[in-house]
Amino acid sequence: MINKNISGIIKLLTLAERLKSELRHSWLSSGRQESVAEHTWQMALMAILVYDHLDKPVNLEHTLKMIIVHDLVEAEAGDIPFFESGKRKAQKSHQEQKAIESIKKMIDAKTGKDIYFLFQEFEEGKTPEAKLAKALDHLEVQLQHNLADFSTWEEIEYDLVYTKMDGPCAHDSFLEQLCYALKTQAEEKMRANGVDVTSIKRRL
């Protein structure tokens, strides 16, 4: 008989495998869409690269755990782009809460509770680790957009270069510098493709 804890682990890993094929709005430089799993991996690498440079120390292990589980709910609820509106967007929080409750019950009580509270901590965005994870969530999106072919950008994303990252990065000077660097890279890409960056800034 298989240990029930192992059965739960396999069940959750089977669900999580969907994140390898759950596609996000972002595109890769190779010309295919980014998966949720790839987004999570890039965020985790970013955390490792930046945490030593932050104004105040954070618990890297805790941050990485939060990053790894923050989008687990999308295995059930799917990915919804930041700028999407309508019924799916309105129901996003409710669907994700249902998903995390389901995930919590798949695995042993302690691990299920740990995953559940890591997800809630990320959503609330109040702890130093959650603030870092939230910032990296936004920064990874812009980094990936900057690397993708410009034809994959939607016009609303021109504005998001200036409105999406600043708030989540405002609590730390190094993250603000990283935000500025990605914003500058995005501006260069827009200008190279005939976008009037000055007019975008003026209307925001």
Structure tokens that stand for 190 in this block = 């827009």
Q: What is the pLDDT of residue 78?
A: 82
pLDDT digits (tens, 9 = 90+) for 60-104: 999 999 999 999 999 988 877 777 666 776 678 889 999 999 999
Residue 185 maps to which CATH number?
A: 1.10.3210.10
pLDDT digits (tens, 9 = 90+) for 26-40: 999 999 999 999 999
**Domain span at residue 199?**
4-19+27-203
Measured distance CA(39)–CA(31) in Å, rounded = 15
Owner of token pair 């994700």: 96
pTM: 0.93
Domain count, the chain: 1
Among residues 9, 40, 54, the alpha carbon closest in space to that of 119 is found at: 40
